Chains A and B, each alone.
Chain A
Amino acid sequence: MSRRGDWVYENNGGTCVAIAGADYCVVAADTRLSVGYSILTRDHSKICDLADKCVLASSGFQGDIKALHKNLAARELLYQHQHNKRMSCPAMAQLLSNTLYYKRFFPYYAFNVLGGLDSEGKGCVFTYDAVGSYERTGYSAQGTGSTLIMPVLDNQLKSPSPLLLPARDAVTPLSESEAIDLVKDVFASATERDIYTGDKLEIVVINKAGTKREYIELRKD
């Protein structure tokens, strides 16, 4: 890490993954919080429920992440009161992008993955960089373990190219339970080699019945 006196960020590590299905969305993140070579806690959630069909997972600097989640949750509440309905996932996606770009010259050190169901009930995943560039995809991984996980997801789930005509959907053909198993497997693998990923895995599954949470143990070393 840099020794300059003005370095205001810190990377607290961790990995987030999301997979979109035809009528479900799986969002998962590990629960380890680290700094340098130390662990701060083994039990910290990186996932925030923003709206009833919309969940945000972020890894990076937890100070910025907490502020970002709080900001978005407040905006969602205002929207609810003003427009008499909850925010849809695509609307939250646009809002998150604008919020991140607002701080283009002093960014939120947050690597985000937004997952949920769109207004038609289909799964959607939006993946972001630190300054708000975003894309709707079928699956994504962000954080310290993303370079280990993304190639595996590409191998298993690679969607057709968005340049194809006629346009093909970016959702995976996997069933909900297959997607959950895939997520558990990739996290188990990432935990082996990434020191910042491990302890516990929090899996959130969103489908038309609602939101379900599950915790799986990961390696603690």
Chain B
Amino acid sequence: MADRALPRTAALACVLRFNFLGKQKRREERERGAEDGVRPRVNTFSPEGRLFQVEYAIEAIKLGSTAIGLKTKDGVVLAVEKRVTSPLLEPSSVEKIMEIDEHIGCAMSGLIADARTLVEHAFRVETQNHRFSYGEPMTRESSTQAICDLALRFGEGDEESMSRPFGVSLLIAGHDENGPSLYYTDPSGTFWQCNAKAIGSGSEGADSSLQEQYNKELTLQEAETIALSILKQVMEEKVTPNNVDIAKVAPKYHLYTPAEVEAVIARL
């Protein structure tokens, strides 16, 4: 116990000192703010009326791994490319599709660490709070709105907010009394309801393939095959059960086992 305590206290002391220095620096910067008119602040508009940080965040997602979602009348299918960069990496530890509640799952693309925070603090906590207060599952639109409320909480000077936007896009698959639904969110805090969507590096090619292949009468099985075949088109490596993840919400969330993924691959 004692030998672990010492380095930990030292680390804590460093962090505190660093924070304190940061606070000083920020205060000075704020005081200088009046002269600093050219460079736009993180959460203020540019002269042309754009929020640069948000746009840059959207660019960051174009580097992320591809994720595809398709909605059918029986449920919603999500498929992600895991992007296992080394054979030494444990594939099951790469989690890019997460369960939010029994009836909601989400796939992420972009800065995965940001996605984890967003999913954990905004999504999961909000849906469980709702269950606690009202004894019922949260509607999918309200839960998506809860996430998007958090997306724009960034800025300077305020201790509570982040210093930059979340660099993550989510595909939220849900099922409630109004049936299945797929929502797409981006760093600007907007969300759209979609029938099918692809996000990440392969999104442009994938989106046009989806437009050609999607129709409202698809069964869940057909949707799985389409999602995986499009993923195969945009991925560089060959599709194996270890480098993709599939999940469905129909009506409950279910992450496919490697055997089930293998079955879908066999149908390609």
Contact = CB atoms under 8 A, between A and B. Distances in A.
A85 interface: yes
B212 to A, nearest CB: 34
A93 B135 contact: yes
Interface in B168-188: 177
Contacts of A90: 135-136
B134 A95 contact: yes
Contact of B142 (A83, A91, A95): A83
A79 B134 CA distance: 10
Contacts of B135: 90-91, 93-94
Contact of B133 (A85, A88, A95): A95
B209 interface: no
Interface string A70-86: 00000000010011110
Contacts of A84: 139, 141-142
Contacts of A91: 134-136
B18 interface: no
Contacts of A88: 136
A83 B141 CA distance: 8
A87 interface: yes
A83 B133 contact: no
Nearest to A79: B134
Interface string B117-142: 00000000000000011111011011
A85 B132 contact: no
B217 to A, nearest CB: 28
A79 B135 CA distance: 13
B132 A98 contact: yes
Contacts of A87: 134
A209 B104 CA distance: 34
Give the interface size class of chain B: 10 to 19
B132 A83 contact: no
Interface string A162-195: 0000000000000000000000000000000000
A119 B135 CA distance: 13
Contacts of A85: 139
A88 B134 CA distance: 9
Nearest to B136: A91
A26 B138 CA distance: 29
A84 B177 CA distance: 13
A150 B139 CA distance: 38
Contact of A94 (B133, B138, B139, B141): B133
Contacts of A95: 133-134
Contacts of A83: 138-139, 141-142
Interface string B136-168: 101101100100000000000000000000000
A182 B138 CA distance: 39
A90 B133 CA distance: 11
A218 B138 CA distance: 44
A157 B129 CA distance: 36
Residue among B132, B133, B134, B142 facing the most chain A CB atoms (10 A cut-off): B134
Contacts of A94: 132-136
B209 to A, nearest CB: 34
A87 B132 CA distance: 14
A45 to B, nearest CB: 26
A97 B109 CA distance: 40
Contacts of B134: 79, 87, 91, 94-95
Nearest to A92: B134
A90 B141 CA distance: 21
B18 to A, nearest CB: 39
A84 B143 CA distance: 12
Nearest to B130: A83
A85 B140 CA distance: 13
A79 B133 CA distance: 11
A82 B142 contact: yes
Residue among A82, A84, A90, A119 facing the most chain B CB atoms (10 A cut-off): A82
Given A90-B136, A91-B135, 4 more contacts: A82-B145, A94-B134, A98-B132, A98-B133
Minimum-distance CB pairs A-B, first 6: A94-B135, A91-B134, A83-B142, A91-B136, A83-B139, A94-B134
22 contacts: A79-B134, A82-B145, A83-B138, A83-B139, A83-B141, A83-B142, A84-B139, A84-B141, A84-B142, A85-B139, A87-B134, A88-B136, A90-B136, A91-B134, A91-B135, A93-B135, A94-B132, A94-B133, A94-B135, A94-B136, A95-B133, A95-B134
